Structure 1
Amino acid sequence: MINVKDLPVDVEEMRLWIVGHREMTDPPVPWAQLSRETGIPAGTLQPFCAGTYQGNNENIARRLFQFMQSVEAKEKRQQSLPVNPGFIETETSQRLMMLLEIAHMGRITVGATGPGTGKTKTVREYAERAGMVWTATMKPSTNRLLPMILEVHKALKLDPRRLSTADASRIVIERVRGRKGLLVIDEANFLGIEGIEEIRNWHDETGVGVCFLGNEELLARIETGRHRDQFARLNRRIAMRHVQRLPTRTDVAQFCDGWQITQPDIRAYLEKIALTPDSGGLGECQQLIEAGSMLAAADDESRGLSLSDLREAQMYRATRWIRA
């Protein structure tokens, strides 16, 4: 990239570039979106592209030159990335699929897994395969009952409305009743007791399948926590549990196969990262592969990913404390 603050910019060249950039997609990028991306008001951008802008055209061209440089840099970085294989079926994903399938039969299941075990990707893949799956991802702000219910409303694609807690819950019941669907509650460890019990009640009233997914803390709270007596009704209804803190060695091998990593030293390195507690598992491995590939391309586009590239990428990541 170059700094064009004090350099002349060809106004006509930038006009042609931004028009071509906008029309690369079908339909063309909406003016409002292009305005947000460039930081230039649509009321200025449109007449500039039409050649009718009465203001300082060179200033607009200069800002568009900066935007063009960022677009080209992003495209270059994208070209250096390996092809993402998407969903990779692993030993752990098969276990999680079973949890989802059993829940979809109208039961309640619980999965407590660590980060980087493929939980979220498996849910997305299952939803693509099975249909009638609603995934509500919880967060700290959904600890209270009404925010939790409204998060489920979003998953069910219900229009946002101002509702009482009781009315919001009733609408969920009406929506899922008789549809033989599956409600996946991801990051369920953020839920309070009331939220978990409300979801259990939806299951009791409608027969909707429910799969609670979260970390190990979730299952510990339900089974052995200080509120375990309050979860007694839920515990009786749990058809299957799965607890797993880390990916398995087979998971890592299948992950490497999916990313077409054949070098034994790199596979061993990634296995050490993935199987280290609190490292981020397979998600961290993907980050390192992508970052290492960009470093390799910056050094020499003709060579492939090497172990030294991954080690250098690790220096900039939170896993730098792992001696892999």
Structure 2
Amino acid sequence: MTATKTQEWPAPRYAPEIGDDDLKIWGDLTQRMAEIAARYGWSKSEVARRSGIATGTLSQWYDGNYAGSFANVSAKVSRWLDSVAEVAATAARIPRAPGYVATPTSRELSDMLLYAQTLGEMAVVTLGAGMGKTMTARHYVETRPHAFLVTMRPTTSSVHGMLVELSRALDVNESNPGRLDRALGEKLRRNGRDTLLIVDEAQNLSDQAVNELRYFLDEYGCGIALLGNEELYGRFGGHKAVPAYAQIHGRIGKRMRRLQPLAGDVDDLIAAWGIEDEKVAKVARALGRKPGALRQITKTLQLAGMYAAGEDRTVTVADIKAAWADRGEEEL
């Protein structure tokens, strides 16, 4: 529940002619509703949508001129307000992940992206699952001008599917499919700028789609970074060229492949979580050696932190083991 612009609600227009007990309940509920709606910037129509109560019914109930049963609507409103409070309380107990952490692997990946952007080259990066590939790419485009990030999936594997996804990511509006690649190319043209297109989950692209990216590299001088898994490395990352991919292979200026996190990656993430107890840190390091690597640490520490926050204490080894078990994983 993300707060938006604060929106004050006017007081109810009428005092309904109902029993004293129902009137008191209605008054308390309308006040709570107005406070919560103002806190999150919700309009009456948004509150109606979230609570599952018809907009007209909710509006009339709030204004005090509802012709139906106030008690029935009040009961629905009460249940909804209680659920909102419960969700907010639960969210407050869940520790926030540190966000981007400049681990050694992340810094190396950032250097790869900077190389591709500065020199207008192609780079291929393969990192194991949960090692911060996507988060690093997002941080890079947030902190560098003229860098763009697009994430591919199986449904965008074709040339056209990829171009449509690129047009959304680059905010290019071109209704003619025959001119879409050129419109994208003009957006990516160096023209005195160091431009970079980062394609995450690039293993989902067909060979023809990857070849289209070569067109942007050759014709418009845009740096290209392909990020993905071992399948991507098998096609384009190896040092020995596969004949079918020779044109792509010859244009790759730099490669990076790492399937397991470095010890420094794990230590930096644990430090970012603020863990000082060495016993807790030792167990957290063990999580980093599991499939999913750094992501396993973050997800498990979030759940463990929730357990600890419920008892107003710091995370213990027992919390981590309980969280790991509750996530359905094997015994640590």
> Which TM-score tier does this pair reach, normalised by the shorter chain?
0.7 to 0.9
Separation of aligned partners in 1, 2:71 and 2:176 = 52
Contact 1:181–1:208 under 8 Å retained in 2: yes
Which of the numbers 71, 78, 82 marks the counterpart of 2:91? 78
Aligned Cα RMSD in Å? 2.2
Q: How do 1:38-187 residues align onto structure 2 when only pairs under 5 Å count?
A: 38-105=51-118, 106-159=120-173, 162-164=175-177, 166-177=178-189, 178=191, 179-187=193-201
Shift of 1:57: 3.3
Instruction: Give 5+ residue unaligned stretches, structure 2.
Output: 1-21
* 8 A Cα contact 1:109 1:212, kept in partner: yes
- Choose from 38, 41, 49 the match for 1:36: 49
Tell me which residue corresponds to 2:260: 246
- Percent identity, aligned pairs only, is 26
- Say if 2:323 is the partner of 1:316: no
Residues 248 and 275 in structure 1, CA contact (< 8 A), matched pair in contact too: no
1:22 aligns with 2:32: no
Aligned to 2:39, the other structure's residue is in SS state: coil
CA deviation map 1:296-319 (0-9, x unaligned):
233x22x2111111111111214x
CA 1:265–1:223 in 2, change beyond 3 Å: closer, same or farther?
same
Give the drift of 1:134. Answer: 1.3
Q: Is the 8 A contact 1:116 1:246 kept in 2?
A: no
Does the CA contact (< 8 Å) of 1:15 and 1:61 recur in 2? no
Partner Cα distance (2:121, 2:44) in 1: 48
Deviates more, 1:50-59 or 1:186-195: 50-59
- Deviation per residue, 1:119-150 (Å, 9 max, x gap): 11111211121122211111111112211111
1:287 aligns with 2:302: no
- Identify which range, 285-294 or 123-132, moves more after superposition: 123-132
1:218 to 214, 226, 232: 232
Q: Is the contact between residue 124 and residue 237 of structure 2 (CA under 8 Å) also seen in structure 1?
A: no
Which one-letter code corresponds to 2:180 in the other structure? A
Between the two proteins, the alignment pairs up a number of residues equal to 306
Which range is displaced more, 63-72 or 37-46? 37-46
**One-letter code aligned to 1:306:** T
Q: Which moved more, 1:48-57 or 1:134-143?
A: 48-57
Q: How many Å separate the matches in 2 of 1:285 and 1:270?
A: 6
Counterparts in 2 of 1:228 and 1:73: CA distance versus 1, 3 Å:
farther
Q: TM-score, normalised by structure 1?
A: 0.87
Residue in structure 1 matched with residue 214 of structure 2 by the alignment: 200
2:250 alignment partner, SS class: helix
What runs of 5+ residues in structure 1 fail to find an aligned partner? 1-7
How far is 1:83 from its partner? 4.2
Greater C-alpha radius of gyration: 2
Contact 2:97 2:302 in 1 (8 A): no
Matched residues in 2 for 1:81 and 1:248: separation?
27
CA displacement at 1:30 relative to structure 2: 4.0
Deviations 1:60-103 (A, max 9, x none): 33222222222222222222233432211101111110111011
